[in-house]
């Protein structure tokens, strides 16, 4: 039996329905976008399209509990990588659910292959 996310994805999406409810880490999320607005737009799209089949694992990062997903963007999302814009399809997503916010701890282009809890291999 495959692992399941700690957070109910529908509840995460319900909270994230308000753009003001999405918070992005500066160092592992916002830095990969040319502007904060582009980061927010990409995050809204990702959370809208994310499915449980992309779930990888739950991480316990004291004091937070975070769900990790391997999101595949079609069409790709433009990211800033080493100062260069790149169209990226595979993304690492790590979030925690707060009372009125979704905190994206990580939202960046996938750096190495990862396997979902259902066994699908996702590559950068």
Residue 2 lies in a domain: no
**pLDDT tens, 77-119?**
999 988 899 999 999 999 999 999 999 999 999 999 999 999 9
Residue 3 lies in a domain: no
Q: State residue 19's pLDDT score.
A: 77
CATH number at residue 113: 3.30.2310.40
The total number of structural domains that make up the chain: 1
By the 8 A CB rule, do 25 and 103 touch?
yes
State mean pLDDT over 68-73: 97
pTM of the entire predicted model: 0.93
**pLDDT tens, 4-49?**
999 999 999 999 998 799 999 988 899 999 999 999 999 999 999 9
Q: CA–CA distance from 117 to each of 16, 78, 80, 103, 104 (Å)?
A: 23, 26, 28, 22, 20
Residue 74 lies in a domain: yes
Residue 1 lies in a domain: no
Residue 123 lies in a domain: no
Q: How far apart are CA 120 and CA 2, in angstroms?
A: 11
Identify the domain containing residue 84 by its residue range: 9-118
């Amino acid at each position: 039996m495959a692992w399941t996310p700690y957070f109910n994805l529908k509840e995460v999406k319900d909270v994230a329905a308000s753009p003001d409810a999405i918070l992005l880490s500066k160092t592992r999320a916002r830095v990969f976008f040319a502007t904060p607005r582009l980061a927010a737009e990409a995050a809204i799209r990702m959370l809208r399209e994310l499915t449980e089949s992309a779930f990888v694992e739950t991480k316990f990062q004291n004091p937070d509990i975070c769900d990790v997903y391997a999101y595949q963007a079609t069409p790709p999302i433009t990211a800033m990588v080493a100062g260069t814009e790149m169209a990226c399809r595979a993304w690492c997503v790590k979030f925690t659910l707060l009372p009125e916010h979704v905190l994206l701890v990580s939202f960046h282009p996938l750096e190495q292959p990862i396997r979902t809890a259902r066994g699908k291999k996702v590559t950068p």
